[in-house]
Structure 1
Amino acid sequence: MPLTDTAIRKTKPGPKPRKLYDAKGLYLLLRPDGSRWWRWKYRRPVTGKENTLSLGVYPDTGLADARAKRDEARKLLANGVDPGEHRRAEKAAGKERAANSFEVVAREWIAKQKSGWVESHASRIELRLKNDVFPWLGGRPVADIGARELLTTLNRVVDRGAVESAHRILQNCSQVFRYAIITARADRNPAEDLRGALPPVKPTHRAAITQPKRIGELLRAIDAYKGSLVTKCALRLAPHVFLRPGELRQAEWEEFDLDVAEWNIPPEKMKMRSAHLVPLSTQALAILREIEPLTGGGKYVFPSARTADRPMSDNAVLAALRRMGFSKDEMSGHGFRAMARTVLDEVLNVRPDYIEHQLAHAVKDPNGRAYNRTAHLHERVLMMQEWGDYLDILKAGDNVVPFRKKGDKDSSRIAIAARRRDT
């Protein structure tokens, strides 16, 4: 039977908490100290997992008020919105914000997407919106924001010269508006009306050294680096694995099997959200063996200088390159990837799909299926070792491997091994 105020007042607390049930998941939790808390039990819209929402304290929140709050939460749930996430978004945005303000909806969207994002990606999106959108549009009802108002906000970013950021913010805003439409809090997406309204982004390429002679100079400079051993080992390993800087600095010892010479990176750390396998050359193994006595007892291979509980800073490798005299126009943290891609293709004449797969790009076969992490593993193991050997040649200053003519399929050990397997 549904609860009544009389029944609530007459029920006395006992030695253990009691639940007085009303209807549609609503109940009153009566604690031994006499306090009475309204709770609503529901299942999350995506996972189906059970969750509980607090609806206030009796008698400040009466039975009628508790039922009204429950019904409001049920409406959100019917539209695919988790009432718990909605409440957290409202609190993060501030009590003065309207329930369907742009900021509340945006924070709710971020919370829903976070589990599928790399942490740094989520932080960048949140920071963009917090700095460049929320101050002007955050408190506005999401359904009332028009294209002109959104363009005015974006032009503030353009005016300070951050055109690429403006395009990224427009993309994020469009995603928020689409989420608002799906959850029945807006009818249209004004961001779609702004196609072509922003200045085009001038293409920029991250600086990379790709000439064999200059690569040798860089490798010798790294060997002569006088900074911390952690940073030096990260610099030395970077050209051998050519991962993204964030993937390198967040390397954890539990991901490595040095006896098998493999580094298995879990999907949540990868940009494409797919597990990635890195075969380790003898040179890469030697670097890891060197740093293992120093950091092997902790979580991270390259921990922060301040605390072993965090990985090294985003700027550690970049700052070390600058200290060694390589300007931002010469070499960047991402430059090791471009270096490997260019030289493996043009000098060692490795098949492009082997290279792209090792770069953790979305490579597909002719039938459109994405390769799994072990695809062409034998060839990639050979490629990584040949690459390590070639880097040693360049570092010694003896560039004996000439540029080869495109299409010369028998000019590398990888190509020869692949041909033998095919026959």
Structure 2
Amino acid sequence: MPLTDTAIRNAKPSPDKPYKLQDDKGLYLLVNPNGAKYFRYNYRFDGKRKTLALGVYPSTTLKDARDKRDTAKKQLDGGIDPSENKKAIKQAKVESANNSFEVIAREWGQKKVETWSEKNNRSKRMLERNIFPWLGSRPIADIQPKDILACLRRVEERGTIETAHRTLQICGQVFRYAVATGRVERDLTQDLKGALPPAKGEHFAAITEPKEVAELLRAIDSYQGSLPAVCALKLAPLVFVRPGELRAMQWQDVNFETAEWRYFVSKTKVQHIVPLSSQAVEILYELHPVTGHGLFTFPSERTPSGIRCMSENTLNAALKRLGYGKDVMTAHGFRAMARTMLDEILGFRPDFIEHQLAHAVRDPNGRAYNRTAHLPERRKMMQAWADYLHGLKAGAQVIPIRKQG
């Protein structure tokens, strides 16, 4: 007799061994000693007896099991082995999951992005917020340009067109990595050129008038934050590196004997040297007894172990507390301040300034500059710049030094 739902529900386990309750057309219920009930289907393929698992009762009902059996019989009629077909489908799902956009994006990040493991990595945050919720589980080969554009439109609607452009750039890097590793044929983000409104370009507010710079420097001297924050704020105008590079400064890269700070610039992929003025060295000497035992010169205040550097918001928040909002002055603005005043007021050669800003300066043959290029001249420039700022802060009438070489 065929099985019924009542018979299956009332079937009691045998304490000795599993037993079967037959349905029809090869379908049966296997009842284990632990009470678990499994639907199975016996069939023959190429003269061999085989068994296909159809599900576990009660999540798989009797009707479900019969439907699966009938599907398997149709496959047999078409010369397909149901068991092998099931394995192929399972393998395809595994491969699909391994080739999903999120899996490949995280693989790209781990291999190609130096700071990917950091909690607040910008590229990772953009993907997690703007792309993964909609496309993360999709096989990357199935994604179309319109799918990515739909995600970018959501970012655009939030009023952050620069972020939309940056997100598109990151997606392009992921697709190019997928091309290199054989997951897709091409970078389809190229089809989206011109699809977004042009980015306005990120502007970092900066003060470049000597009188206002003097007031800013005196305000910084009055700041009442922690010693690392105070020192970072005082050092920022003297070295005018990118804020992220300053925050990630490590003691092992500082040489007090040569008065140099050497580190790798991830943005331009070059080794960089920052000659340290006597004023900069004095600031670092003051801080060394406090943080010199750890990795970072400016460690995070929220991480006592010292394994993380200062937060990216610390310096801008300090400037804001001093009365300098982001529309007036930013931590990044110290670079514009130095670039403008070293050129227009102190008269140093633009290529000296560009080298010191760690910009991708190239020689007439198109080669990227050597990290030691114009180093003696840059040493003089950095000390002259520090002396000039010291004079402004002290209220002295500073006469511009017209340096041309």
TM score, norm. by length of structure 1: 0.69
Is 1:284 matched with 2:280?
yes
Runs of 5+ unmatched residues, structure 1? 1-64, 73-93, 405-410, 419-423
Runs of 5+ unmatched residues, structure 2? 1-83
Distance apart, 1:300 and its partner CA:
2.2
Aligned 8 A contact 1:118 1:270 in 2:
no
Deviations 1:225-267 (Å, cap 9, x if unpaired)? Answer: 12222211111111110111111122222211112211112x2
Q: Distance in 1 between matches of 2:181 and 2:266?
A: 29
Secondary structure of the residue aligned to 2:99 is coil
Aligned 8 A contact 2:152 2:164 in 1:
yes
Q: Distance in 2 between matches of 1:164 and 1:386?
A: 37
Matched to 1:216, the amino acid is A
Distance apart, 1:119 and its partner CA:
6.2
Aligned 8 A contact 1:213 1:399 in 2:
no
Give the match for residue 195 of structure 1.
193
Distance apart, 1:214 and its partner CA:
0.5
Pair 247,119 (structure 1): closer, same or farther in 2 beyond 3 Å: farther
Give the match for residue 356 of structure 1.
354
Secondary structure of the residue aligned to 1:179 is helix
Aligned 8 A contact 1:272 1:362 in 2:
yes
Give the match for residue 289 of structure 2.
293
Q: Distance in 2 between matches of 1:248 and 1:370?
A: 23
After superposition, residues 274-423 of structure 1 pair within 5 angstroms as: 274-306=270-302, 307=304, 308-402=306-400, 411-412=402-403, 415=404, 418=405
Pair 303,179 (structure 1): closer, same or farther in 2 beyond 3 Å: closer
Equivalent residue for 2:161, pick from 157, 160, 163 = 163
After superposition, residues 20-31 of structure 1 pair within 5 angstroms as: none
Q: Of the two, which has the highest radius of gyration?
A: 2
Matched to 2:106, the amino acid is R
After superposition, residues 79-228 of structure 1 pair within 5 angstroms as: 98-115=97-114, 123-228=121-226
Distance apart, 1:97 and its partner CA:
6.2
Distance apart, 1:180 and its partner CA:
2.5
Distance apart, 1:296 and its partner CA:
2.3
Aligned 8 A contact 1:114 1:122 in 2:
no
Distance apart, 1:169 and its partner CA:
1.4
Matched to 2:250, the amino acid is E
Q: Distance in 1 between matches of 2:328 and 2:252?
A: 34
Pair 194,118 (structure 1): closer, same or farther in 2 beyond 3 Å: same
Q: Distance in 1 between matches of 2:207 and 2:119?
A: 27
Secondary structure of the residue aligned to 2:98 is coil
Deviations 1:258-303 (Å, cap 9, x if unpaired)? Answer: 12211112x2x54222111111111111111222222223322222
Pair 96,375 (structure 1): closer, same or farther in 2 beyond 3 Å: closer
Pair 241,119 (structure 1): closer, same or farther in 2 beyond 3 Å: farther
Pair 227,105 (structure 1): closer, same or farther in 2 beyond 3 Å: closer
Distance apart, 1:96 and its partner CA:
11
Pair 293,122 (structure 1): closer, same or farther in 2 beyond 3 Å: closer
Matched to 1:305, the amino acid is E
Give the match for residue 88 of structure 1.
none
Q: Distance in 2 between matches of 1:186 and 1:251?
A: 39
Q: Distance in 2 between matches of 1:256 and 1:170?
A: 37
Pair 185,255 (structure 1): closer, same or farther in 2 beyond 3 Å: closer
Secondary structure of the residue aligned to 2:364 is coil
Matched to 1:391, the amino acid is L
Q: Distance in 2 between matches of 1:401 and 1:118?
A: 47
Aligned 8 A contact 1:206 1:334 in 2:
yes
How much identity, in percent, do the aligned residues show? 55
Aligned 8 A contact 1:253 1:296 in 2:
yes
Pair 181,296 (structure 1): closer, same or farther in 2 beyond 3 Å: closer
* Deviant stretches of 4+, over 6 Å: 94-97, 118-122
Number of positions where the alignment pairs a residue of Structure 1 with one of Structure 2: 315
Pair 184,286 (structure 1): closer, same or farther in 2 beyond 3 Å: closer
Aligned 8 A contact 1:261 1:281 in 2:
yes
Secondary structure of the residue aligned to 1:263 is strand
Aligned 8 A contact 2:110 2:117 in 1:
no
Equivalent residue for 1:246, pick from 227, 244, 247 = 244
Root-mean-square deviation (CA), in Å?
2.5
TM score, norm. by length of structure 2: 0.72
Aligned 8 A contact 2:277 2:382 in 1:
yes
